[in-house]
Amino acid sequence: MKRTIITVVGKDTVGIIARVCTYLAENHVNILDISQTIVQGFFNMMMIADATDAGKGSAQIAEELEKLGEEIGVTIRCQHEDIFNMMHRI
Question: Which domains, ranges and CATH numbers included, belong to the chain?
Answer: 3-87 (3.30.70.260)
pTM of the full predicted structure? 0.87
Chain-wide mean pLDDT for the chain? 91
Backbone φ and ψ of 46, nearest 5°: -130, 135
Is 46 a residue whose pLDDT tops 80? yes
Percent of the chain with pLDDT over 70: 88
Whether the pLDDT of residue 85 is over 80: the answer is: no
Q: Which of 2, 29, 90 is nearest to 76 (CA)?
A: 29
- Residue 80: pLDDT above 80? no
Check if the beta carbon of residue 68 is closer than 8 Å to that of residue 1: no
What whole-number distance in Å separates Cα of residue 60 and Cα of residue 12? 26
